[in-house]
A and B are shown apart, each in its own frame.
Chain A
Amino acid sequence: MEHADPAEVERPDADDLALDGNAAAGELESLFGPGATVSLATCAHCGTEQAVARLGTWSRGPGLVLRCCACGRVAIRLVRAPTVLHLDLNGVTRLRIPSGGR
């Protein structure tokens, strides 16, 4: 049973403002390394596993909001403030990050 925040479920009308996780690559790689966008994220809401590059990305605000490409709900929030980085991974149950070794 889910009681999702309605504001979180509602997708912005202007979907054209949405990019994808490729647009967040610089910020995400600074945290998770060069494999960040090919990492696989499992959505905490619907269970879909998707490459981080495929997450819908809204980057026009003061931070980044990344949403599941299947259900549209928030997966990752990231805000860089002058002295602290806020990272909310509440919408992701698992990240599989390639470690670089072959």
Chain B
Amino acid sequence: MSATLTRDDLLRAYRTMRTIREFEERLHVEFATGEIPGFVHLYAGEEASATGVCLHLRPDDRIASTHRGHGHCIAKGMEVAPMMAEIYGKKTGICGGKGGSMHVADLDVGMMGANGIVGGGGPLICGAALAAKMKGTDGVGVCFFGDGASNQGMILEAMNLATVWRLPALFVAENNGYAEATSSKYSVACDNIADRAGGFGMPGVIVDGHDFFAVHEAAGEAIARARAGGGPTLLEVKLNRYYGHFEGDQQTYRATDEVKRIRETRDCLMLFTRRVSSAGLLDLAELEAIDRDVAAQIDAAVVAAKAAPKPTAADLLTDVYVEYA
């Protein structure tokens, strides 16, 4: 399992997953106070997916994300303080308060944006992969999307195009079982999203999204193949979200205790901790130190975001065009 993972990798993976969890849990609390504008979609429970994939990526690799994008942002290397400020709609936000939770992005680290349009990232990541191919780098593009987007034409077209152009791309279907309140058992016409890969001439792989190590291994193979010119892969990560489609969703459509049961038995952080400590790779004290550090970091981010100024009237009209006569 960890043949390719160094001790530093493991520490990094844990810190990333913990940062995402802490970020989302804190947002869950803070959103309820009414201080955060708009709405947020939390990634808690799905951390192993973003982390397992992005641990393979370099800054010049690109990812496209979804409306549930905070985890992808953090895993791709974005700073939490400007992200938090963005979600609060502040001028100090990574996007100056003009994007918000659903459009948080940082092109400097290869994060091409959360996306308010379900499936919107598929074509974009084909473009990122095409750019890498044209420039002759061995960079890759990774598109994260959900089970809802797996039925969206843009994603299906993008997967076909990626194979036709033999693009260095990876399509990561994060199947958390629900598109808003509609179960994927109802809305996806085949048993697995990965079953569709054959129709697009690419390998389809299914992994358990609660298991960081499984995601990491499968993503590693797919990304190495893409870098080597072997074309795209569809990776279906089966996982669960802990919170509703958006904050305020009471999840009455889910079975009683469904989330509680998953949290207690299959939580990705719990499985990771159990695995690394039983194998003697990391000790619990180290992980607890990371927990304390991350908690302090998120707390500082929230305090700073709350204190930060809002954008002003002068900001309304800027950043539409590079230049406009």
| A is bound by B | no
A residues sitting closer than 8 Å to B (CB atoms) are none
Where the two chains meet, the residues of B that have a C-beta atom closer than 8 Å to any C-beta of A are none
